């Protein structure tokens, strides 16, 4: 799947979920979900170091994907052209971090 296809599909799913709950997806709600997902990722990273018996690598991967998907929702809410913005950012980073000959 292309990134725009993924974004369209996750927005569709998120809108269906919100509709069932009688709410509208807003940037604030999306950001709250994003911070929750970061907390869940942090828990797995902490478990890996401090509670290996509770560490779940599959859940860690799932939380990373949840974060990416929530970022896609947030980007859509701000009408972000991801392909264009990724290209601009990567070019900027390449210029900034490529050693001069």
Tens of pLDDT, residues 79-95: 999 999 999 999 999 99
Which domains, and CATH codes, for the chain? 3-97 (1.10.287.1080)
User: What pLDDT sits at residue 100?
Assistant: 76
pLDDT for 5-25, tens place per residue?
999 999 999 999 999 999 999
The pLDDT confidence band at residue 99, using thresholds 50, 70 and 90, is: confident
According to DSSP H, which parts of 22-81 are helical?
A: 27-50, 57-77
Residue-wise pLDDT tens digits, 51-61: 999 999 999 99
Q: Is the pLDDT score of 101 beyond 70?
A: no
Q: What is the pTM of this model?
A: 0.88
CA distances from 66 to 14, 25, 26, 58 (A): 12, 16, 17, 12
Q: Tens digits of per-residue pLDDT, 32-47?
A: 999 999 999 999 999 9
Cβ contact 10:61 at 8 Å: no
């Amino acid at each position: 799947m292309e990134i725009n296809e993924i974004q369209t599909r996750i927005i569709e799913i998120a809108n269906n979920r919100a509709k069932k709950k009688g709410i509208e997806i807003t940037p604030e709600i999306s950001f709250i979900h994003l911070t929750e997902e970061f907390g869940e990722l942090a828990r797995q990273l902490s478990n890996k170091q401090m509670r290996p018996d509770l560490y779940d690598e599959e859940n860690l991967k799932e939380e990373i994907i949840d974060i990416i998907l929530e970022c896609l929702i947030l980007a859509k809410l701000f009408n972000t052209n991801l392909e264009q913005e990724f290209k601009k950012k990567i070019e900027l980073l390449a210029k900034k971090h490529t050693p001069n000959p």
